[in-house]
Structure 1
Amino acid sequence: MAKFFGNLNAVVAVGFVGALALLFWTNSLNNLPGWMTFLHVISGVMWIGLLYYFNFVQIPTMPAVPAELKPGVTKYIAPKALFYFRWAALATVITGLLVAILKGYAHEAFTFQEGFRLIGVGMYLALIMAINVWFVIWPNQKKALGLIEAAPEVKAKAAVTAMVFSRINTLLSIPMLFAMVLQNLGGAL
């Protein structure tokens, strides 16, 4: 049992097999919007989960980590987490756009038409957050973590910039999630 659960790829694969079994059982195989919504939610959980990990765990804990242990985080944990963070952000945006297109409300959401204002706000907030991930947080984290060469003062400034934009994304994630959840519960404005 421990051998199976020690293999993350196997665990994830069996999880997806379970999802497929549910699709067969409910006769939902041809439900493309449903599939896309599922992929959207899974990638969104990964993205926002890592955002919250960085902001609630890693950033506040790093000052207390002894200097000799910090490379364990900065050279191994953070780069791997940032890999999943940025690709989950992209997957969330792409699958979210596909859901909006497949369900026929993309135009209405992006133009804040009545009945689609909440989801539109959520979509715009998510786009801003994804832009922050790819064009501000990730380039600055590469400098701060020493993944690319940078002078010490540049690394320090990059770390602050990455933290500030990560906190901006944390702030934006709350109304974004509120808008998306409320819209999906029928609370359209």
Structure 2
Amino acid sequence: MGKVLENLHRTLAVGLVLAIIVAVLRHSDYLASEAYWAGIMRWVHVFFGILWIGLLYYFNFVQIPTMPKIPDELKPAVGKHIAPAALFFFRWAAAATVLFGLLTAGANRYIVEALTFQSGFVTIGIGMWLALIMAANVWGIIWPNQKKALGIVTVDADAKKAAARVAMLASRTNTMLSLPMLYCMVMQKMG
């Protein structure tokens, strides 16, 4: 088992196999139904959403507050290795969350109703719009500024410092928006 757990890809593959086993054992009668596949879309949406928001919280609860405490000689390890890797999964998890969220809404036939705040879909609509704003923030503000702050894009020291601040503030904005967004996603059945 150690060989499986030492490798992330193997760990995820075994987790997926276990999920398939549960699906076959518990829901084999429903595998061909439209509702089952809508549920699969929701499951994938939730997986990517957890990855996205988990990394958002990692940045805001761990990395940002800890960086000033890290000795200067150790900071390049974070800036050159940890942060770029985390940002890769962060931004693509945001994109996948939005994609599978829209697919879920489409599969459940409420995408137009939710995005236009029609009766019975206002809560999920608010959640969807907040998530879309957050994803736009990731790709349009956080990532371009993080590339400057991390030295992926070469800029002078003042621009680097300014970009780091803009990225941090945009990330904090997403953290703030995540609370009502998550509330809306969880409470969507209430209208």
Once the 2 structures are TM-superposed, how far is the Cα of residue 2 of structure 1 from its aligned partner? 2.6
The one of 53, 72, 92 aligned to 1:67 = 72
3-state DSSP of counterpart to 1:67: coil
Once the 2 structures are TM-superposed, how far is the Cα of residue 34 of structure 1 from its aligned partner? 1.0
Tell me the equivalent position of 2:22. Answer: 22
Distance in 2 separating the partners of 1:3 and 1:100: 39
* Identity across the alignment (%): 56
Distance in 2 separating the partners of 1:94 and 1:124: 13
Do residues 167 (structure 1) and 185 (structure 2) align? Answer: no
Tell me the equivalent position of 2:124. Answer: 119
Aligned-partner residue type, residue 50 of structure 1: L
Aligned-partner residue type, residue 12 of structure 1: L
> How far does the alpha carbon of each residue in 1:7-33 deviate from its partner, in whole angstroms, 9 at most, with x for none?
111110000111111111121433210
Do residues 106 (structure 1) and 111 (structure 2) align? Answer: yes
Distance in 2 separating the partners of 1:4 and 1:65: 33
Q: Which runs of 5+ in 2 are unaligned?
A: none
Aligned-partner residue type, residue 31 of structure 2: L
Tell me the equivalent position of 2:82. Answer: 77
Q: Which runs of 5+ in 1 are unaligned?
A: none
Aligned-partner residue type, residue 9 of structure 2: N
Tell me the equivalent position of 2:136. Answer: 131
Q: Structure 2-normalised TM-score?
A: 0.95
Tell me the equivalent position of 1:187. Answer: 190
Once the 2 structures are TM-superposed, how far is the Cα of residue 176 of structure 1 from its aligned partner? 0.1
> How far does the alpha carbon of each residue in 1:56-114 deviate from its partner, in whole angstroms, 9 at most, with x for none?
00000000000000011000000000000000000000000000011000111011111
Do residues 4 (structure 1) and 4 (structure 2) align? Answer: yes
Q: Structure 1-normalised TM-score?
A: 0.96
Distance in 2 separating the partners of 1:108 and 1:58: 38
> How far does the alpha carbon of each residue in 1:112-141 deviate from its partner, in whole angstroms, 9 at most, with x for none?
111100000000000000000001000000
Distance in 2 separating the partners of 1:131 and 1:54: 18
Distance in 1 separating the partners of 2:80 and 2:108: 42
